[in-house]
Amino acid sequence: MFIVSVETTFAASHIIPDYPGLCSRLHGHNWTVAVSWSSEGLDPLGMALDFHEAENLLAPVIEELDHSHLNDHPFFKERPPTSEQVAFFIFGRLKEKMHSRNKPFSVRLDQVSVTEMAPFKAIYRETS
C-alpha cells in the first residue's frame, strides 16, 4: 500500500455556538490541513498520485475557507464550525472533485486531518 499526503494551512475565524467556554467568542486560527490518499499500485511514472495533482485538488477547497469567518460559510449554517466539521467538509469537497475529473483515479481518498492549534487535531475518514 502506498500513501501520498499533502499538507497546507489557512487562516479563518469561527465561533462555536453554545460552547461552555472561550470558544463561544469570536476567535481565529491558522489551521493546518493534511490529506492522505492511498493506492495499491503505481502509475507508469512510479507514482500513486502526483504531488502537484494532490495540491491542485486541495487548493480550491482551501481557498474557499481561507481568510473567512467559517460561521458565514453556507456549509456551517446548519452545523458548528468545529475542527471535526471542517475535516468533514474538506473530505466531501475533495471526494466531489475526484469524481468530477475526467481522469480516473486509482487512488482512494483516505483521510483529512485538521489542526486548529497543536497538539489538537481532528481526523475524518469514511468507513468501508
Number of structural domains, the chain? 1
Of 23, 53, 69, 73, the active-site residue reads 23
Q: Is the pLDDT of residue 67 over 90?
A: yes
Looking at residue 98, its pLDDT comes to: 87
pTM for this model (two decimals): 0.94
Q: Domain containing 108: what range?
A: 2-124
pLDDT in tens, 10-60: 999 999 999 999 999 999 999 999 999 999 999 889 999 999 999 999 999
pLDDT in tens, 92-124: 999 999 887 665 668 999 999 999 999 999 999
* Active-site residue flag, 23: yes
* Active-site residue flag, 73: no
CA distance 76 to 64: 13
* Active-site residue flag, 52: no
Return the CATH number at 99: 3.30.479.10
